[in-house]
Amino acid sequence: MQYRLYPKDAQIQALKVQLGEACRLYNAALQERRGAYKHAGLSLTYYDQATQLKAIRAAGDLALANFSASQDVLRRVDKTFKAFFRRVKAGAAQPGYPRFKSRKRFDSYTFPSWGDGCRLTDAGRLYLQGVGHLKVKWHRPLEGQIKTVTVKRQAGQWFVGFSIEYEGEALPGTDAQVGIDVGLTDFATLSTGETIPNPRYYRKAQARLRIAQRRVARRTRGGANRRKAVVLLQKAHAHVQNQRADFHHKTSRTLVETYGVIAVEDLNVKGLASGMLAKSVNDAGWSAFINKLDYKAAEAGRQLVCVNPRGTSQTCLCGAEVHKTLAQRWHECPACGLSAARDHVSAQRILGLGLSLLDLT
Ligand SMILES: [Zn+2]
């Protein structure tokens, strides 16, 4: 759950200091690990580094206000190294040694435990240690048990992200079942025949992104105007992302409230048929959507089942293969005579596959 922050000037300065210090700590920890490895062949652990934190802070050499947030920076370094060693072990040709981060690109830090240096005030503000009481735009109610708080800088704006533990408030049971087919023109088609159109902002946003992109391309490299154009482009991207996330939240919520069993295609399957490749247009959006659907379903005690997408659009409900090109939007089965919209048939087929999978388990 991400919300926009409206810091005052002094708070922006404080946020920048916190981020800058988190970045400095990150790079220092990285440096120490590199040195130990290069000169002594030693691999430092998170604990080796965390034990030094107290002394560093006592010496006044770290202005990152919250102790746990400092530990979190070290944990991030640790993760980066662990991932690096995994790549080395897996025999990656270019494992990519962990790199220093520039202040410009270091744009988030995390309070790892709620209540420790961060809390909500009665007035609905977010208190962050070292920064103060921040104004938040609560565009959606914050539900569930907050676990961590991450402060982010994105395109010159500030955001706060809450990771939430859902208490799993089960919804009343329902026998309703649905299969969902990812659409090319529509967002999705349901086995009920209902379609979920792409939201109206979608085309507008695409057009706006293209314009912003072109503006960047026309400005000279390294110039101040280009920098400004880049910020505008980043803002446009952030705006689209937020809108999309919002749409995904609302859509997945409605589905989970309505259906007890939800069957979808698993588009992460390798080697998709050519017809499926076209669907990857929606791919990035689709997996983000499935993630939201997944945790909401789990929270509500619903069943989400992922089926192999192979052949879902080429097989009739009677089992006969009915080949169609992408352009053919209508399904006509010579075997059983079924005549229906292609995506509607696919969605029903997905539901059928999903139910047979559930029967097996
Ligand atoms: Zn048929």
Of 334, 268, 337, 250, nearest in space to 306 by CA: 268
Instruction: Write down the H helix ranges in 219-310.
Output: 224-258, 274-279, 283-300
Measure 255 CA to ligand 1 centroid, in angstroms. 28
DSSP 260-272: SEEEEE-TT-SS-
Beta-bridge partners for 154: 157
Task: Give the model's confidence band at 273: pLDDT under 50 very low, under 70 low, under 90 confident, else very high.
Answer: very low
pLDDT for 266 equals 82
- Average pLDDT on 205-223 reads 89
Separation of CA 258 and ligand 1 centre (Å): 29
- Could you give the percent of the chain with pLDDT greater than 90? 51
Which among 191, 197, 196, 176 has a CA at the least distance from the CA of 343?
Answer: 191
Q: pLDDT per residue over 227-241, tens digit each? A: 999 988 988 888 888
Considering only CA atoms, which of 198, 349, 195 is closest in space to residue 282? 198
Q: How confident is the model at residue 150 (pLDDT cuts 50, 70, 90)?
A: very high
Is 152 in the same domain as 281?
Answer: no
158 and 233 belong to one structural domain: no
Instruction: List strands edge to edge, sheet with 261-265.
Output: 195-196, 188-190, 177-182, 261-265, 303-307
Domain that holds residue 31: 2-165
Same domain for 86 and 208, yes or no, is no
Q: Closest by alpha carbon to 159, among 169, 172, 149?
A: 149
Round the average pLDDT of the chain to a whole number and report it: 87
pLDDT at 280 over 70: no
| Structural domain contains residue 25 | yes
Does residue 45 lie in a domain region? yes
Cite the active site residues: 181, 265, 343
Of 113, 131, 165, which closes a domain?
A: 165
pLDDT for res 243: 83
d(CA 108, CA 15): 10
CA of 350 from ligand 1 middle (Å) equals 15
Dump the DSSP string for 12-68: HHHHHHHHHHHHHHHHHHHHHHHHHHHHH-----HHHHHTTHHHHHHTT------HH
The residue among 148 and 141 whose pLDDT is bigger is 148
For residues 45 and 102, membership in a common domain is answered with yes
pLDDT beyond 90 at 345 = yes
Q: Are residues 160 and 296 in the same domain?
A: no
Find the mean pLDDT for residues 190-211: 85
Q: Could you tell me the pLDDT band of residue 244, with boundaries at 50, 70 and 90?
A: confident
The reply to whether 109 falls in a domain is yes
Residue 318 phi, psi dihedral angles, 5° rounding:
-80, -10
So what's the pLDDT on residue 283? 47
Q: How confident is the model at residue 358 (pLDDT cuts 50, 70, 90)?
A: confident
Domain boundary among 122, 141, 165: 165
From ligand 1's centre to the CA of 50, what distance in Å?
A: 65
Residues 355 and 359: their CA atoms lie apart, in Å, by 6
Distance CA 28, CA 35 (A): 10
Residues 211-236, mean pLDDT to the nearest whole number:
90
Mean pLDDT of 46-64: 88
**pLDDT for 187:** 87
Query: Do 285 and 340 share a domain, yes or no?
Result: yes
Q: How many domains does the chain have?
A: 2
- How far is 92 from 286, CA to CA, in rounded Å? 29
Q: Do residues 89 and 50 share a domain?
A: yes
User: Of the residues 130, 145, 165, which one is the last residue of a structural domain?
Assistant: 165
pLDDT at 166: 64
What's residue 251's pLDDT?
93
The C-alpha angle 113, 248, 192, rounded to 5 degrees, equals: 135
Q: Is residue 336 part of a domain?
A: yes
Residue 171, in any domain of the structure: no
| pLDDT at position 22 | 96
**139 and 282 fall within a common domain:** no
Please state the rounded mean pLDDT for residues 76-83: 91
Q: What mean pLDDT is predicted for residues 33-45?
A: 86
**109 pLDDT more than 90:** yes
- For 230, residues 6+ apart whose C-beta sits below 8 A from its C-beta are 216
Measured in angstroms, how far is the CA atom of residue 263 from the centroid of ligand 1? 21
Supply the pLDDT for residue 236: 86
298 and 336 in a single domain? The answer is yes
Query: Same domain for 25 and 127?
Result: yes
* Residue 301 binned pLDDT confidence (cut-offs 50, 70, 90): confident
Rg value, the chain, Cα: 25
Q: What is the pLDDT of residue 354?
A: 94
Query: What pLDDT is stored for residue 168 in this prediction?
Result: 61
Within 13 A of 218's CA, how many CA atoms are on the CB side? 8
Reply yes or no on whether the pLDDT at 361 is more than 90: no
Mean pLDDT, rounded, for 265-276: 59
Mark whether 61 and 133 lie in a shared domain: yes
292 and 252, same structural domain? yes
